[in-house]
Amino acid sequence: MSVNKLLLWEKWRPKTIDDIILLPRIRKELENGVNQHYIFHGHYGTGKTSLARILIGRYSKETPYLELNCSMDTSIDVLRTEIDNFCKFTPMMDTNSDIKYVFLDEFERVSTNFQDAFKAFIERYNKNVRFIITTNHINKISDGLKSRIKQIGFDCQGVEEEKYLKQEIYKKITNEILPKEESEIPKEDLVNIITKKFPDFRSVLVEVQSYLETGSISDGTGNVSAKVKLELYNTLYEDLDFEKTYHFLVSNFGAEKIDVMIKLLGKPFIDWCITDKRESVNKLFETAYIIADYSSKLEGATDPLILGITIIGKFRDILKNPV
């Protein structure tokens, strides 16, 4: 039951187009490479970032490329410096291609002003630069950009595509990953893991690794360190501003693990209060109501991070007010 300590989702991150699990329509669209600008949009963990990195040559190093994560820096200055300098001055490599690539990950994090300025860059460098942007929320991309860039949706369009992806994920794990890891998972348990985490393949692999280490399907909370749990609980009693709360959630959970944060604010938080924060015990009826109410809203949330911030805010209102 042992598994290599390197995280499975990192170890098995696709490096070539053949490695990645894609819907047939997406593979067909890109079979001739990047011949225009693209927006890759869809659920977390569906391969958008991995595919973009493969297409721009991050692993083959055959073409010049610039990759920026928009959750780290979304200022207009980035456009005027890094992107502009790359497009103007970065020399071509000794290949037959005369195209350079700019990849902007998590583009929904940028401001409206950034998006407006970005349109001008697309038009200015259209001759020799191809832009790829990824987003989990296509509704946060301006109509002006969407009219200039080809959109490819990674979410399943119907039952047949969902069935195909689940089968491909199952085959990838049973035919490649588990044999290489010298491990086994009963078919029923693996199907349950895939169903539970679908379509997020990264989360599937996290759950697979947890299963190989524990022998059971977890609720995700066991993968969070004691230090992060304590920081989360202490955060509920602090006067942190929105930005600090946001960065705490991004750094320790991310949008794809807000469900884990919610679970930690359930029974684990109650147990912590009973042993370490007795003065809060009388307020746990109210916090339990918040968890029950917002757990049902997570699946339909357009931005899980905002939902997580809202829950923390409501917990603070309850816990910091005197009984």
Rounded-to-integer distance, Cα 231 and Cα 288, Å = 20
Q: What is the pLDDT of residue 1?
A: 42
Q: What is the pLDDT of residue 300?
A: 67
Q: Which residues are bridge partners to 67 per DSSP?
A: 103
DSSP E strand stretches across the chain: 38-41, 65-69, 100-105, 129-135, 150-153
**Prediction pTM value:** 0.71
Q: Which amino acid is at 35?
A: N
Peptide bond into 91 cis (omega under 30): no
Q: What is the pLDDT of residue 217?
A: 76
Side by side, which strands form the sheet with 150-153? 65-69, 100-105, 129-135, 38-41, 150-153
Contact 197, 203 (CB under 8 A): yes
pLDDT by 10-residue block (mean), the chain, 323 residues: 65 91 94 90 91 85 84 73 86 70 90 88 90 93 92 95 96 96 92 90 88 78 80 87 83 83 92 91 92 80 83 91 68
Q: What is the pLDDT of residue 207?
A: 86
Q: Which residues are bridge partners to 39 per DSSP?
A: 133, 151
Residue that is written with structure tokens 């790829």 in the block? 132
